[in-house]
Amino acid sequence: RREARAGTGWTGAEIANAAVQKAVAHLTATEAVFRERDLHMQAARFSAGRCDWKEIEVALADAEAKGELIREPGPTGAAERLTTRGMVEAERKMADALEHGRGDHQAVMTPKEFTRALERFERDRGFKLSDEQRQAAGLILTGRDTFQGVQGLAGTGKTTLLAFVREAAEAQGWNVVGHSNGAKQAATMERESGIASETTASHLAFCEQDQGPAAIMDERILRIMDESSQSGQ
């Protein structure tokens, strides 16, 4: 039996569905993926007590059944995360644009310029980068692929590496922009490396709504995506 909740004219199921939609919009404004628990909590907040927990669970299951919500594996040892169909499609378009740019990208600098920039950075800082840091920086700054994958940076001085990449690229006239999976991570990247950063979700939404894939391919912008595997890249 369908009963409208007092003062709304809506049934509990309708309120729950609207609350889940608002919660998804709220979470994806800053995160590409999010925990189911967080979605439940935000939906409960948006419902303002006008539907019960079970109705929110049903609304969430319905959104997942329709393909509006998609489950993705979480980080090692963590629970599954949720994302949206729109976000997955936007990420796919970004990946396609990047793939088409392999071998067709202007390197930030030549190997000789890289060596000079590295020597200057190490002299100014008073210490040398590790072999792993140098190799990663070389891939980023001298590679000709639009997308350069760098692995194994955890615990190896990523902040110092990114600070060098920023200084070297900016000296060559490039604008360096950072992207991360969450707002807190983006803020940390910006604070520690000096790279102006935003969430991947915000950038994808911008490209999807306003600029399209062309915004990704600006030749004079070097984009650093932190922990891209957690964003489905």
Q: What is the pLDDT of residue 147?
A: 63
Residues 200 and 153 in one domain: yes
Counting residues of the chain whose pLDDT is more than 90, the rounded percentage is 41
Higher pLDDT, residue 173 or 212: 173
CB 31 within 8 A of CB 181: yes
Partners of residue 222 on adjacent β-strands = 176
Residue 129, phi then psi, degrees to nearest 5: -70, 155
Q: What is the mean pLDDT of residues 97-125?
A: 84
1 lies in a domain? no
Tell me, what CATH number does 123's domain have?
3.40.50
- The answer on pLDDT for 16 being more than 90 is yes
- The answer on pLDDT for 230 being more than 50 is no
Residues 156 and 168 in one domain: yes
Higher pLDDT, residue 86 or 111: 111
Residues 223 and 185 in one domain: yes
The residues, any chain, with a CB within 8 Å of residue 7's CB and separated by 6 or more, are: none
Chain CA centroid to CA 97, Å: 16
User: Rounded distance, CA 129 to CA 152, Å?
Assistant: 15
Among the three residues 63, 84, 105, which one is the final residue of a domain in this structure?
Answer: 84
Q: What is the pLDDT of residue 7?
A: 55
Residues 147 and 37 in one domain: no
Q: What are the pLDDT digits (tens) for 166-185?
A: 999 999 999 999 888 778 88
Higher pLDDT, residue 220 or 146: 220
Q: Between the CA of residue 177 and those of 48, 70, 98, 225, what are the distances in Å?
A: 38, 28, 16, 9
The residues, any chain, with a CB within 8 Å of residue 120's CB and separated by 6 or more, are: none
Tokens 């396609």 locate to 96
Q: In this structure, how many other beta carbons lie within 10 angstroms of the beta carbon of residue 44?
A: 18
The residues, any chain, with a CB within 8 Å of residue 92's CB and separated by 6 or more, are: none
Helix (H, G, I), strand (E, B) or coil at 196: strand
Q: What is the pLDDT of residue 1?
A: 42
- Rounded (10°) angle between helices 183-193 and 158-171: 70
List the domain range (segments joined by +) for residue 69. Answer: 12-84
Helix (H, G, I), strand (E, B) or coil at 124: helix
Model confidence band, residue 220 (pLDDT cutoffs 50, 70, 90):
confident
Report the candidate in 19, 13, 108, 5 with the shortest Cα–Cα distance to residue 55.
13
Higher pLDDT, residue 122 or 72: 122
Q: In this structure, how many other beta carbons lie within 10 angstroms of the beta carbon of residue 136?
A: 24
User: Rounded distance, CA 39 to CA 66, Å?
Assistant: 17
Model confidence band, residue 219 (pLDDT cutoffs 50, 70, 90):
low
Q: What is the mean pLDDT of residues 88-98?
A: 73
The residues, any chain, with a CB within 8 Å of residue 25's CB and separated by 6 or more, are: none
Tell me, what CATH number does 57's domain have?
1.10.10.2220
- The answer on pLDDT for 75 being more than 80 is no
Residues 29 and 132 in one domain: no
In sequence order, which ranges of 69-222 are alpha helices (DSSP H)?
Answer: 85-100, 111-125, 131-142, 158-171, 183-193, 200-206
Q: What are the pLDDT digits (tens) for 141-175?
A: 998 866 666 655 555 578 889 999 999 999 999 99
Residues 77 and 122 in one domain: no
Between 25-29, 47-51, 64-68, 69-73, the lowest mean confidence (pLDDT) is in 25-29
Which range among 32-36, 38-42, 83-87 has the greatest average pLDDT?
A: 38-42
User: Rounded distance, CA 16 to CA 183, Å?
Assistant: 27
Q: What is the pLDDT of residue 229?
A: 40
Model confidence band, residue 121 (pLDDT cutoffs 50, 70, 90):
very high
- The answer on pLDDT for 135 being more than 70 is yes
187 lies in a domain? yes
